[in-house]
Amino acid sequence: MSLPNCPKCNSEYTYEDGTMLVCPMCAHEWSPEDTSDVEEEKVYRDANGNVLQDGDTVSVIKDLKVKGSSSTLKQGTRVKNIRLVDGDHNIDCKIDGFGAMKLKSEFVKKI
């Protein structure tokens, strides 16, 4: 009997555990009858509505005060190799001269 691939990571190494199917690669569990529990990937958009992805380069669209510092992040600052995360500030990045920082996607535009 052939089991279906994992709906989350598409791994072929799924196995049955009672009435559930389990993926050993990503630990996703699902019912063979129910295919609606596949998690949808969250889409993050910049200030202009462009879809952002991990590794993109963005530019800051307005001066931003840096919390805990007397300096500001100037408009037009380029941020390379962003990483998208869940939360209020959904961009994790490193900025030259500032270090590690979290930004909101509404204050950047994709380059």
- The candidate with the shortest Cα–Cα distance to 102, out of 110, 90, 111, is 90
The residues with which 29 forms a beta bridge, in sequence order, are: 22
pTM greater than the 0.75 cutoff = no
Q: How far apart are CA 91 and CA 27, in angstroms?
A: 26
Residue 87: per-residue pLDDT: 87
Q: pLDDT by residue (tens digit) across 51-74?
A: 999 999 999 999 999 888 888 999
Please compute, for residue 56, the number of CA atoms within 13 A of its CA located in the half-sphere on the CB side.
18
CATH number for the domain running over 1-37: 2.20.25.10
| Domain 57-110 of CATH type 2.120.10.10 | no
Residue ranges covered by each domain of the chain: 1-37, 57-110
Q: How far apart are CA 102 and CA 25, in angstroms?
A: 30
Q: What is the C-alpha to C-alpha distance for residues 44 and 94, in angstroms, rounded to an integer?
A: 19
Instruction: Say what the pLDDT of residue 8 is.
Output: 86
CA-closest candidate to residue 56, choices 45, 70, 72: 45
pLDDT at site 60: 96
